[in-house]
Amino acid sequence: MRLAARRPWVTLLLWAVVLLAALPLVPRVASHLSAGGFAAPHSAAQAADATTAHLRRPPSAPAMLVRGLPAARVRALARQAGMAAGVRDGGVAGSVVLPGAPQAAAARLARAVRAAGGRLTAVDASAESHAVSGEALRAFASSTAVALPALGLLLVLVFGALWPALLPLLTAGAGTLLTLAVVSVVERYVPLSVYLLQVVTFLALGVGVDYALFVSSRFRAELTADASVDEALAVAMATGGRSVLYSGIAVSLALASLMLGGTAYWTGMALGGALAVAAVLLVTHTLLPALLRLLGRRIHRGQIRWALPAWALWGRLADWATAFPGWALGLGLGVLVILALPAPALSANIPANVARMLPTHSALAEAQALVQRVEGAGSVAPIVVALSLPETTATAATWLTVGHVAAALQQLPDVAAVSSPTGSGSPRTLAALAARPGGALSAFVAGPHQVDLFVTARTGPDAARTATLLDAMRVRLARVHGVMSRVGGAAAVMQGFDRYLAGRLPWVAGAVLLVALAVLWAATGSVLQAAVGIGINVLVMAATAGVLVSIIQRGAFGIAAAPLNLAVVPLVFVMLFGLSMDYQVILLHRIQEQLAGGATARQAARRAVATTGGLITGAGLIMVAVVAGLVVSPFEVLQTLAIGLSSAVLLDTLVVRTFVVPALVTLMGPRAFWPRRLPAR
């Protein structure tokens, strides 16, 4: 920091070189991102799915929806393509559904349909993953267009001047650009989720603006108090810079704890989030002081009178919260407890039906709904049953066993169909066919001792009855002597992921709590304040969970009720703990500054809230403005992220920092920063 302040032009030149080198990498940032990563490591479901990759040809292509052509025309094209399967009415005028067919025939049909002027939509996991990635990127672009104007207006409102409002945008933009460039390199070697793009961008932008706001506001305040530019910069970095350093460490470590989730998705989120905050910290402690040094007193240009921190409201609230701390504490805790009442009903999972994450108006979501209506709810996600047999597939005994397994599975409730060759020939005939490489059984034979069966459930992949069926299948298969079996498919993979993550989340939560405790302890030197901060954050987390249940899970404010997505809910809570350290450290450091000047606990709390209330609230509103654009997204995952983070930040800034923290410091008095002893009230 000192070098950056002493050599500002050199610092600017170095940053210009870095950003110019990073710029070409940013347009390619989405090229290697995927909608996957949701699988428990080394799971049986994954192992079952892996066997299908060894089939000489998959058993069938996905079901298809054809629109824009008469059914008779589609039947004729299907016959020409070599598809014997029936063509069915899709239930909507001009729509026709075709069940799965060999891939070569499906490809021929697709070309013929397009040549005839029709539209063909394949309903399979690959198409769904591609559609989800595309929707996520479109939502990112539209939400950014909504967020940036609101962010600019808020910055002017918080700074009370046009010129200094550009500083946070410059520094946050540099941090975001650097982060995206690093992600574009890292994603080539580490699997990263497409959702990471939104999280990293909005995190870098929001945190970068907040950090620049805290440092530059203190710099302006010192200049107003007649300090020299060098003195003002030194104080700003020693106070605001120190606070944001602790905050950045807290956010980075909290996000890094997601690695304990043990899956590719959470590892990517942890890595990307930590990189974003690290880049912002680097910018805040190098580029920002250089810019402040060059601007000097010109940072006051373009001042307006209606700056948010200058409002007398914060002084009045501080007076009331410290004069009546019991009432203030009761009000703050009451709001949090009331909002937290629905929290016990929270339920989250990852949808096995990826298309469920798409907006209902998307072409693929509509196509899948029609296919399910015609072919059955379970047709879009067949269950894979991988059988490892003691004898080779060239023996009749093997096929006799496979036949028994297929019959046993067919008898289970909620099984619509079992795709198995055993219904089309005797065990001896099947053994002879299996001995021929690339023969009729190559769609089921995955190895010398490996046979794959495909089960279609009567219910959809996310239905509770499908989860019950998967467990029943495992029980039934375990009774087959001498055969090792694995159950796979999208429903089984996501069921395993949910159960695996449920066992890992306590470790993630424990790590986040330890990080928050350690950072608060190191930042304040007080064990008591660290423990109190943890307790308050837990309450805010419970209140946020209650808000998510009320708005997303139960449906409110025009949002259709939907199960909460496990891909984003833990991320909201981890980011909440990290970001709350930002506002907590800023407020407690300002209280400690007042205490160092001889103020009592009550006086210190009152002055700290009066001087930082508008600043902290403004920072919170800026963070909300950054993510609020996602609320209008039709993408449910991003809606959950926006609503969760917005409600958490607003509760933290408007309730906790305005009422709860000053009231507690006042009530604790000389013991507020134990083991440090403070002056009596």
Kindly state the DSSP code that residue 359 receives in the 8-state scheme: -
Higher model confidence: residue 356 or residue 622?
622
Residue 61 pLDDT > 70: no
512-529 confidence digits (pLDDT tens): 888 888 888 888 888 888
524/244 Cα distance (integer angstroms)? 13
304/156 Cα distance (integer angstroms)? 9
Work out the number of other CB atoms within 10 angstroms of the CB of residue 527.
Answer: 15
Q: What is the pLDDT of residue 681?
A: 45
Tokens for 134? 């595309």
User: Of 560, 575, 555, 558, which is closest to residue 647 (Cα–Cα)?
Assistant: 575
Angle between helices 569-596 and 601-628 in degrees, nearest 10: 150
Q: What is the pLDDT of residue 221?
A: 80
Residue 26 pLDDT > 70: yes
241: Cβ–Cβ under 8 A, 6 or more apart, which residues? 1, 215, 284, 285, 289
Contact 579, 255 (CB under 8 A): no
Q: What is the pLDDT of residue 361?
A: 66
Report how far apart, in Å, the C-alpha atoms of 12 and of each of 5, 232, 283, 291, 570 are: 11, 20, 11, 8, 38
- Domains, the chain: 1-31+161-303 (1.20.1640.10), 63-123 (3.30.70), 308-351+503-681 (1.20.1640.10), 382-488 (3.30.70)
Q: What is the pLDDT of residue 660?
A: 92
Tokens for 483? 């055969």
Report how far apart, in Å, the C-alpha atoms of 224 and of each of 237, 290, 324, 597 are: 16, 19, 32, 20
Residue written as tokens 């209008």? 632
Kindly state the DSSP code that residue 39 receives in the 8-state scheme: S
Contact 413, 446 (CB under 8 A): no
pLDDT band at residue 417 under the 50/70/90 scheme: confident
Report how far apart, in Å, the C-alpha atoms of 573 and of each of 485, 618, 653, 665 are: 38, 21, 16, 25
243-285 confidence digits (pLDDT tens): 888 888 888 888 888 888 777 778 778 888 888 888 888 888 8
Residue 176 pLDDT > 90: no
602-619 confidence digits (pLDDT tens): 888 898 888 888 778 877
pLDDT band at residue 422 under the 50/70/90 scheme: confident
Higher model confidence: residue 499 or residue 103?
499
Residue 345 pLDDT > 80: yes
Buried b (16+ CB within 10 A) or exposed e, 457-476: bbbbbbbeebbebbeebeee
Higher model confidence: residue 125 or residue 609?
609
Q: What integer is the mean pLDDT of 305-313? A: 65
Report how far apart, in Å, the C-alpha atoms of 572 and of each of 269, 545, 547, 577, 642 are: 12, 9, 12, 9, 9
